[in-house]
Structure 1
């Protein structure tokens, strides 16, 4: 399975792509989409750059699934709204390319990658480097995106097992529903 992870941002959006085979993770690609060259007052144009960038990445690498970091609430509500719009452009590009989209918080990603929710950016970069056997540290936005993809690879297996258990449990409980005696 190929997973595309996205760390959305209005100025810089990170992306990371990994292949998953059982428990083995393999690095495919990572990088950033920058909107800094677009006039800062032109929000629609910046969102278009993000949408087109994600669409190009999905076309080039053909992922099977995607995962996006959930926006946290900043002290500044305006910043939160702008970040939410950037995230929306990314999610829309993924959905328009028929990709399933999973969502994870930064805390969930940090716990999955570094083992604790208070991990610093440098710790995430180092753990992503180790988990994917990279020759050097990825940039912080790309590392976060790769971390989101790694989180989905780990959580996806668990969710699949839970769904299978729920299906087994559901079929078993249905058999005994009418067979009850006093």
Structure 2
């Protein structure tokens, strides 16, 4: 019996630019579907920029109907105001697929880089290059879209491990409860 294809939406959150990438995974085989970048107007009020981000991502979800989503965790900036705004954008990025009933996983940037490049300190150029190797049909115009595809690839590689950990935790919990 052939494995069922899983459509994954990878997201690289940002207030100025949020990258998104859609891949399909069948077993270990990955296929590029689409990618892009949402760029809210920089001169608008914060609430309107966040609303724009939500509207655009909701359209991506409607157009590509992913089974699962994955979001890159954000780093803490030296500037508290910037970190707070990025956190608000990340909240919208996580909320939008959740509202559509799509499960959302989170991955640290270090794990994403290690998964796709083999080194946790990889730079943007290395990520772009590996996305072209892993997804030769990928056509991305921004680093944000390439990063989003890398998040989707990371989820494809690690989703089985996450499910196995959850199953083991459930089994352990039921054993403890039975005592």
TM-score clears 0.5: yes
**Can you give the 5+ residue segments of structure 2 that lack an aligned partner in the other structure?**
1-5
Q: Deviations over 1:106-145 (max 9, x none)?
A: 1110011101110000000000110112366652100100
Among 133, 136, 154, the alignment partner of 1:133 is 136
How many residues end up aligned between the 2 structures?
172
> Larger radius of gyration, structure 1 or 2?
1
> Which residue matches 1:22?
27
C-alpha distance 31-136 of structure 1, shift in aligned 2 (>3 A): closer
Q: Give every structure 1 segment of 4 or more consecutive aligned residues whose post-TM-superposition deviation is greater than 6 Å.
A: none
Displacement of 1:158: 2.1
> Which residue matches 1:39?
43
**Can you give the 5+ residue segments of structure 1 that lack an aligned partner in the other structure?**
none
Displacement of 1:92: 1.3
Q: Within 5 Å, which residues of 2 pair with 1:83-94?
A: 83-94=86-97
Asked if the contact 1:17/1:29 (under 8 Å) is kept, the reply is yes
Q: TM-score, normalised by structure 1?
A: 0.86
Asked if the contact 2:50/2:92 (under 8 Å) is kept, the reply is yes
Displacement of 1:169: 6.8
- Report the more deviating stretch, 11-20 or 154-163: 154-163
> What is the alpha-carbon root mean square deviation over aligned residues?
2.2
Displacement of 1:161: 3.8
